[in-house]
Amino acid sequence: MKKVLFIAVCIILFSTTAQSGEDFHPEKFHQSNCTGCHDSKVYTRSNRRVNSLPRLESQVRMCDANLGKKLFDDDILSLTQYLNDNYYRFEK
């Protein structure tokens, strides 16, 4: 029984990691991974921690590490760009 559980957990973990930068869709990733911890109000509140584009990228990297997703750098940048375009609107 333990062996079956271990295999099931390994399959789940393997299937949730990024497989290639080409297959990454930031909007889908955001909806399925980020909104489980918070809604979009965290991006628009007046006392938000993120106040620049570099800080946004840093926050995305921290969330990636906390979730254990191990996104590729291109995917981190794509997600950062998606969040900036749709919520933050920092100058590039």
Supply the pLDDT for residue 1: 55
**Separation between Cα atoms, residue 73 and residue 91, nearest integer Å:** 20
- Across the chain, mean pLDDT equals 83
Tokens encoding 67: 């979730």
Distances (CA, A) of 55 to 28, 43, 90: 22, 12, 11
pTM confidence score:
0.74
Supply the pLDDT for residue 37: 86
Q: For 53-91, how does the pLDDT look when each residue is reduced to its tens digit (9 = 90+)? A: 999 999 999 999 999 999 999 999 999 999 999 999 999
**Separation between Cα atoms, residue 60 and residue 29, nearest integer Å:** 12
Supply the pLDDT for residue 21: 53
